[in-house]
Amino acid sequence: MRRSLILGTLLLLPPAGGLVAQGAVPAPPLTRAERTDYRETSSYADVVGLLGVLDGAVSWLRVTSFGYSYEGRQLPLVVVGDVDAATPEAVRATGKTRVFVQANIHAGEVCGKEASLILLRELAQGAHPEWRDSLVLLIAPIYNADGNERVRLDNRPGQHGPVGGMGQRANAQGLDLNRDHMKLDSPEARSLAAFMTTWDPHVLLDLHTTNGTRRAYELLYAPPLHPETDPAIDRLLRSAWLPEVTERIAEADGWHFSYYGNLPYRRNVERGWYTFDHRPRFNTNYIGLRNRFGILSEAYAYAPFELRVQATRRFVEEVVDYAYRNASTVRAVTEAADATTFAGSTFAVRATFARGDSVDILLGEVAEERHPYTGQPMYRRLDVMHPERMPDFGSFAATETVTVPETYVVPPELSAVLERLAAHGVVVERSTSAQRRTLERFRIDSTSVAEREYQGRRERALFGRYELVEDTLPAGTVLVSTAQPLGRLVVMLLEPRSDDGLAAWNVLDRALDGVTYYPIQRVPTR
């Protein structure tokens, strides 16, 4: 990592940007955004260069990587904490709460990248030394490294800066990485899934920028939204963690943060505050089904770039500080979720918005300005508020459920399925002898395939019902138990009616050609 990623880029920063070993920082390195008065955002080389200066300047900050982009760029990872080495084994051996901060999944939404770099510099200068008592921070400033390098002045039209351009939403394959967490078609998403398995952070913060409804908030956030997220994770985030962060920022900074939402775009839909989507193709929802705390951050696109960076940095700071002050609780909740077995219970495989109580939403206004170099409109948030009381659609309820089986039975010839289970970190076993079992098999009545391609796929829906059958499973059959920490994820991946499973993403298309029964069977609960 140091030879290929770090040392080759140290000259990209001015000499005054160095750190003195073990903590004295007379001339801290500035980000590209800071050096250009927030007209520009950091390139991949800028990020790597700044991290090269920080790497090892203090004993508790080290730089490594956790995977590769489609075009072969290393994905930097900064380990901040009192650890023996920047390895997953050393980090887990501390027994401390692990908090992962991920930025730039959409490379036009660059405030998280700049905010994480600024925070890293502040930590290297000695900020928040108390965090290291109970936390290890894992920070990935530039997840969509390839998209970051495709800078254009017309990416993210309407967004208020940086006026020198920003990267694109998709990666180099043209895939939205925040839709790839289940199908794993990109090396970036596979790198992240492997990171979640090996480093196993308890908390993930996913840093974005959003436009949408004209609002008065500087930043919006969301917990995991799938209705099968562990209830204790959901409860802690909604009843304590996010409200406390909101209150502390309002008191200290005078900013208004709240739950992510938009007014409905379609006519004939009840006016209300609607969050985005429950499916685990989205990062924080996926993290929730892995029994971890996922927190989405969405700075407001029409706030000036510098304000977006500052608001994101403060949000990260307060979220991490809560994790520090409640580190043992965070660990205990995730450990309890991992130990939960739920075979025989009902599980939502499809869902829709749940209508909640009415809440006060702070709507706002923008002023149209002209981009100084393209002449195209961009919008600036105005400091006005129009409170409106409306129903909250910030969570989801099941529209279709299944009874969770003890085990899924996967034929060994379904190599694409097995490969993806392994990539997610799911534990499987192979039978050593033939077994006669009572099984459930799904009889397919009909199927539909989307007319339009989406993210390189044509989403499929299967319709049918389960039947009981006596069958002999040959030796070598793959058994996937739901009694494992990733049991929730297993159900969503393997159920034929899952709205975000492997069947929906065409991974089983060959095996489904001309068959009457879904090829993956189930061992029902006794």
pLDDT at position 186: 98
Element (H, E) at 163: none
Other beta carbons less than 10 A from residue 308's beta carbon: 30
CA 299 to chain CA centroid, Å, is 15
pLDDT at position 27: 59
Give the model confidence (pLDDT) of 323-340 as tens digits. 999 999 999 999 999 999
Q: What angle, rounded to 10 degrees, do the helices at 242-253 and 305-325 form?
A: 130
Q: Is 269 helix (H, G, I), strand (E, B) or coil?
A: coil
Average pLDDT score, the chain: 94
Q: What is the DSSP letter of 28?
A: P
Structure tokens at 278: 């429950």
Domains assigned to the chain: 2-340 (3.40.630.10), 350-397 (no CATH), 405-523 (no CATH)
pLDDT at position 526: 83
Give the model confidence (pLDDT) of 279-307 as tens digits. 999 999 999 999 999 999 999 999 999 99
In the sheet where 460-473 sits, what is the strand order?
Answer: 429-430, 478-481, 407-410, 521-523, 435-449, 460-473
pLDDT at position 50: 96
Percent pLDDT > 90 in the chain is: 93
Give the model confidence (pLDDT) of 331-369 as tens digits. 999 999 999 999 999 999 999 999 999 999 999 999 999
pLDDT-derived band of residue 450, with 50, 70 and 90 as boundaries?
A: very high
Bridge partner residues of 296 (DSSP): 206, 222
Mean pLDDT of 379-402: 98
Nearest to 400 by CA among 451, 464, 355: 464
Mean pLDDT of 258-264: 97
Q: Is the pLDDT of residue 9 over 70?
A: no
In the sheet where 257-259 sits, what is the strand order?
Answer: 61-68, 74-80, 135-140, 97-103, 203-210, 293-300, 219-222, 257-259
CA angle in degrees (0–180, nearest 5) for 513-426-350: 60
Structure tokens at 95: 């027994």
pLDDT at position 2: 36
For 111-263, where are the alpha helices, taking DSSP H only?
111-124, 145-148, 187-198, 231-236, 242-253
Nearest to 136 by CA among 335, 327, 329: 327
Give the model confidence (pLDDT) of 198-214 as tens digits. 999 999 999 999 999 99
d(CA 119, CA 207): 13
Give the model confidence (pLDDT) of 74-89 as tens digits. 999 999 999 999 999 9
d(CA 504, CA 501): 5
pLDDT at position 267: 86
pLDDT at position 265: 87
| Dihedral sign of CA atoms 482, 496, 180, 184 in order | positive
Q: Is the pLDDT of residue 23 over 50?
A: no
Mean pLDDT of 107-116: 98
Q: Is the pLDDT of residue 194 over 70?
A: yes
In the sheet where 386-393 sits, what is the strand order?
Answer: 273-274, 386-393, 358-363
Nearest to 139 by CA among 71, 69, 60: 60
Other beta carbons less than 10 A from residue 313's beta carbon: 21
Q: Is the pLDDT of residue 25 over 80?
A: no
